[in-house]
Amino acid sequence: VCSMGNSSSRLYSALAKTLSSSAVSQHQDCLEQPDPAQLDPIDPKDLLEECQIVLQKRPPRFQRDFVDLKKNTASNHRPIRVMQWNILAQALGEGKDNFVQCPMEALKWEERKCLILEEILAYKPDILCLQEVDHYFDTFEPLLSRLGYQCTFFPKPWSPCLDVERNNGPDGCALFFLKERFELINSVNIRLTAMKLKTNQVAIAQTLKCNETGRLFCIAVTHLKARTGWERFRSAQGCDLLQNLNSITQGAKIPLIICGDFNAEPTEEVYREFSNSSLNLNSAYKLLSPDGQSEPPYTTWKIRPSGECRHTLDYIWYSQHALNVNSALGLLTEEQIGPNRLPSFNYPSDHLSLVCDFSFNQDPDRLL
């Protein structure tokens, strides 16, 4: 375990007690919450403070505000905060992605992991959906489990991280939820198919019961195939995921939230498949637009040797008649992102985090 700063800290001590390198090498398909009796809880305020100590020489975290989207829908229950984020696999950031305007110093894991943790701790999600996680076993599972989250990881079968020298194992999708708020009813790992072939992309779908309301809902996380030229492939993967979720939610009887990096602009077929699905889905971040019909102008913005890449690829889909979007976290402005784009000393990933607060529809006659 690498030191997270020049001085010994509680955070370093916490990380030093995490899984050994031999355990990390045993890339399990799915790792559930370990025995809580073996874990000491961590106060999130202490962890955030330690992250800020490590990051004190870096620029301060960007300020982002939530946009209130409530439409006179009163609720007696706390909203459910869901966070979606492609955090950028460390092996890819350092070894394959070629962010030509990002100094290598900004990609150092010892500090970048603190930037990631700082972002998560700042927004305090009840449910956290991550992609490109390649430090699950030695960072995210040990720390987030001690913050009260139940943790699940599903790696890609042939992760590109494994091609990078001194990698930390395969990257994959990870799903975390607060045990004090939810009970796990069912968990399914899905290896997506396309054209009847198993692919390298995966998803996790979990049915949870909200402890406060007793309501069931399904939360899913995925990361579809990247690159131009793979549009039909992504479309097939999306169809497969929708079919799986249709079965899991009993034909949309159970409300659904899907988080993911779809690697697809809103003009792609896979986007239309989700928009027109029988599961009655809507994209939460469309609600930030003046007419409620347009996606944000970007969720990722980077500069590679081939040029500048500014795209909308990340989404939070939800059952629009069963769930209300109370608020959504605003995006970073172009001025905040800066001319060198992402990642940077300010921000740890080339993708922006998306955060929404959901509540259940209170009308008992409207089940969907």
- Give tens-digit pLDDT for 270-279: 999 999 999 9
pTM of the model: 0.90
Q: How far apart are CA 6 and CA 65, in angstroms?
A: 32
Exposed / middle / buried, residue 353 (Cβ in 10 Å: 0-12, 13-18, 19+) = buried
pLDDT, the chain, mean: 89
Q: How far apart are CA 198 and CA 298, in angstroms?
A: 30
Are 333 and 45 a contacting pair, CB within 8 Å? no
Contacts of 164 (CB under 8 A, 6+ apart): 91, 92, 94, 95, 96
Q: Pick from 195, 173, 147, 213: which is nearest to 86 by CA?
A: 173
Q: How far apart are CA 317 and CA 54, in angstroms?
A: 35
Per-residue DSSP letter, 351: B
Token representation of residue 150? 């139940």
Cα–Cα distances in Å, from 279 out to 127, 207, 254, 294, 367? Answer: 21, 15, 10, 20, 12
Q: Please give the average per-residue pLDDT across 156-180, as a whole number.
A: 96
- Yes or no: is domain 76-362 CATH 3.60.10.10? yes
Per-residue DSSP letter, 225: P
Token representation of residue 167? 């990698």
Per-residue DSSP letter, 263: -
Residues facing residue 311 across a β-bridge: 300
Residues facing residue 281 across a β-bridge: 319
Look at residue 4 in the predicted model and tell me its pLDDT: 41
The mean-pLDDT minimum among 64-68, 93-97, 146-150, 191-195 falls in: 93-97
Domain boundaries, the chain: 76-362
Look at residue 328 in the predicted model and tell me its pLDDT: 98
Are 250 and 213 a contacting pair, CB within 8 Å? no
Question: Is the confidence at residue 245, as pLDDT, over 80?
Answer: yes
The contacts found for 273-278 with CB under 8 angstroms, 24 or more apart, are 273/235, 273/238, 273/239, 273/242, 274/238, 274/242, 274/315, 274/317, 277/242, 278/246, 278/251, 278/252
Look at residue 307 in the predicted model and tell me its pLDDT: 92
Q: How far apart are CA 212 and CA 198, in angstroms?
A: 39
Contacts of 143 (CB under 8 A, 6+ apart): 14, 15, 18, 42, 47, 117
Q: Please give the average per-residue pLDDT across 261-270, as a whole number.
A: 98
Q: Pick from 91, 84, 152, 149: which is nearest to 119 by CA?
A: 84
